[in-house]
Amino acid sequence: MSGPTGGTDAADPPEHGATGALTVVGTGIDVTTQLTPGAQAAIEAADEVMYIVADPVAALRIEALNPNARSLDSLYGAGKDRHGTYDEMAEAFLEPARKGLRSCAVLYGHPGVFGLPAHVAVQRARAEGISARMLPAVSALDCLFADLGIDPGSTGLHCYEATHFQRRRPAIDVDATLVLLQPGMIGELGGEPTPAVAGRFRQLVEQLSDVYSEAREAVLYTASPYPAARPAVLRFPLGAPEPPTPDLAATLCIPGS
């Protein structure tokens, strides 16, 4: 079994008398077009549903599918360490299953992409002999490939969390596409961004301009959660004197060459 930050195994371990079950699903980015039939069925069939979503339309959709659905947003707190919050979420996902109920955890996008609480909950459930599964869903990265016309198979792909990339400075192939996730939370330990993000992002852009060149194009991309709205796409050279500040949902991409 992998650690909490890794993936989850495809198969459940044998059950040991447990009657409860945990299913983890994602809404996709646009819940109106990307919520899969499998995810919808899991939400409808659950005894208890807990959700963490960024879009009020997604929350309304989940609650319409199951009147027992409730948000876990209250677990976030100003200045509260994110990892403590994630552990509380994982335990909340597990609690109904431990009581013999069918529990469904619903996360925004793909539940396993920046879904540490989901991975932890699935791993703990299986370790306790509780049936657990995670269903795939559309992530912001999938939307980025479609909206920006990028095929990662053409040039290769590097994908990192922005804070990890800035701190670890991994070696990269400058001809491959680089995707940095959550630049709007770079360097943050709490659940909300602070004004310091803008300065850290400028430092990140300077770091990238040293690796690539000041003329290399970068893209700040934010997928749209609504079918009638277009994604936000801000293109700028890495040498820009005042690069844009990423919002909370943005992804930074340097397309391959």
Distances (CA, A) of 8 to 105, 109, 116, 121, 135: 15, 17, 11, 10, 11
List 51, 61, 86, 126, catalytic entry = 86
pLDDT tens by residue, 38-85: 999 999 999 999 999 989 999 999 999 999 999 999 998 777 788 899
Phi–psi pair at 25, nearest 5 degrees: -130, 165
Phi then psi for 6, rounded to 5 degrees? -95, -170
- Tokens coding 196: 């310091």
What is the spatial distance between Cα 216 and Cα 195, in angstroms, rounded to a whole number?
A: 26
Tell me which residue of 254, 219, 222 sits closest to 234, measured CA to CA: 219
pLDDT of residue 10: 45
Report the CATH number of the 140-254 domain: 3.30.950.10
Domains 21-134 and 140-254 share a fold: no
86 catalytic, yes or no? yes
CB 243 within 8 A of CB 202: yes
Which SS3 state, helix, strand or coil, does residue 61 take?
A: helix
Each domain of the chain, given as residue ranges in start order, spans: 21-134, 140-254
Query: 21-134: which CATH number, 3.40.1010.10, 3.50.50.60, 3.40.190.10, 2.60.120.10?
Result: 3.40.1010.10
Which pLDDT does position 147 carry in this prediction? 98
The pLDDT value given to residue 14: 39
> What per-residue confidence (pLDDT) applies to 139?
97
pLDDT surpassing 50 at residue 5:
no
Q: What average pLDDT score do residues 90-112 get?
A: 98
Residue from 108, 124, 133, 221 carrying the catalytic annotation: 108
Candidate from 13-17, 114-118, 171-175, 241-245 with smallest mean pLDDT:
13-17
Q: In whole numbers, what is the pLDDT of the chain averaged over residues?
A: 92
- The pLDDT-based confidence of 170 (bands split at 50, 70, 90) is very high
Determine the pLDDT at residue 12: 46
Q: What is the dihedral of CA 184, 185, 187, 192, to 10 degrees?
A: 130
Q: What is the pLDDT of residues 176-206, one digit of tens each?
A: 999 999 999 998 877 678 888 999 999 999 9
51 is catalytic: no
Q: Which of 70, 76, 82, 216 is catalytic?
A: 82
Prediction pTM value: 0.88
Residue 4 has pLDDT above 50, yes or no: no
What share of residues in the chain are helix, strand, coil (percent, to 5)? Answer: 35, 20, 45
Query: Which phi and psi (to 5°) does residue 208 adopt?
Result: -70, -35
Q: Is 221 a catalytic residue?
A: no
